[in-house]
Amino acid sequence: MLTERQSLILQVIVDEFIETAQPIGSRNIAKKKQITYSPATIRNDMADLEDSGYLSKTHSSSGRIPSEKGYRFYVDHIMSPLKLSQEEVSIIKGQFDERMIELEKVMQNSAHILSELTKYTTLVLGPEVYETKLKQIQIVPINKQSAIAILVTDTGHVEHRSFAIPSNVDQSDLEKVVNILNEKLVGVPIIYLDQMIESEVVDLINRYTSNFEQSYRILQQALFGSQSSSLYVSGKSNILMQPEFSDIEKARSLFNMMESEEQIAPILKANKQGLNISIGHENQVEAMNNCTLITATYNMGEDQVGTIALLGPTRMEYAKAVSLLDLWSSYMSQSLDSWFNEG
């Protein structure tokens, strides 16, 4: 375990490095007013900290920089939550002051605001569509051969998908099916729609329409095919501002990763309830090996419904990032609660 003094030195080094991105030497540490020891003493502790893996050097006679283990210790044992400025608090709060109607807009705005406040990239993963409930199904024919199915959920989410109408399916068949679906399925969680249809609706449809097979299968495919997920990313270009990504190659690989939703969504989903910090190689994905990802979940009642995350260099302003995410997710959870209680 670290001594009191070692811990203090580690703290100074991490704080300083977060700010300057430069290796820190013993003399500079000694100048800090919290520090009452001579450079030599500090050097000894620094050597110990390096031996136990909390610090490392860029070359044999350079100052020290925190290792991933060092950040980990800082995050777990040293860091204290940052008091956010009045302005920061009110920007986030303001976001939730208006009546929330469309969840998607809120998430979009949130991503934007947080990336502005932190200068990191913000990722917001909304509630899975199938965790919400069906509000209404609509079919809008576009021309003789095609139509659009629109599905609205109780979160105000609108999902739509086009499909071709086979020539032997009459439009009135489709209408009947839609009517039945609406009658029976409104209020059902999207995740249960499939089972529900099989168990309750199939017979009914068969009774009323002649072309059940086609009209139903088509609809099913259109509505329950690949769910468009709800990932909002903002401030991608902030990454370019970080000196650790002045190496174009690193920036490129991160950008490539962020362009594919399929890669990011599972990473965000994998995190547990509450706050999670993944530092450097704790991230499985190689492109993120010199990044830190901080995720926070938000809830609806007891259930975790979504995740928000900040992605930055390992040299991240941990205290600020954590405080902002904490604040945001509590507002968000609260907002979701009142939304569903009033609604």
Partner DNA sequence: GTTAGCACTCAATCACATCGAGTGCTAATT
Partner DNA sequence: AATTAGCACTCGATGTGATTGAGTGCTAAC
Binding site for DNA (CB under 7 A): 5, 23-28, 36-41, 43-44, 46-47, 50, 57-64
Among 3, 21, 94, 140, binds its own copies (CB under 8 A): 140
Q: Which is nearer to its own copies, 62 or 237 (CB)?
A: 237
Residue 144 near its own copies by CB under 8 A: yes
Do residues 69 and 315 lie in contact, with contact meaning Cβ atoms separated by under 8 Å? no
In terms of phi and psi (left: phi > 0; alpha: psi -120 to 50; beta: otherwise), the region of 21 is left
Of positions 248, 260, 262, 302, contacts its own copies by CB under 8 A: 248
Q: Which of DNA, its own copies, none has residue 304 at its interface (CB below 5 to 8 Å by kind)?
A: none
How far apart are CB 72 and its own copies at their closest, in Å?
A: 29
d(CA 178, CA 219): 9
Shortest reach from residue 238's CB to its own copies, in Å: 9
Contact 197, 224 (CB under 8 A): no
Q: Among its own copies, DNA, none, what binds residue 327 when CB lies within 5 to 8 Å by partner kind? A: none
Residues 97-116 binding its own copies (CB under 8 A) are 99, 101-102, 105
Three-state secondary structure call for residue 338: helix
Does the CA dihedral 328-330-336-339 come out positive or negative? negative
Tokens of 71: 């950040």
Closer of 42 and 332 to its own copies (Cβ) = 332
Min dist. Cβ of residue 312 to DNA (A): 23
Q: Which of 77, 312, 83 is nearest to 295 (CA)?
A: 312
**Binding status of residue 154 toward its own copies by CB under 8 A:** yes
Cα–Cα distance measured from residue 335 to residue 105, given in angstroms and rounded to the nearest whole number: 13
Tell me which residues touch its own copies (CB under 8 A).
99, 101-102, 105, 135-136, 138, 140, 142-146, 148, 150, 152, 154, 156, 158, 160-164, 236-237, 240-241, 246, 248, 251-252, 255-256, 259, 342-343
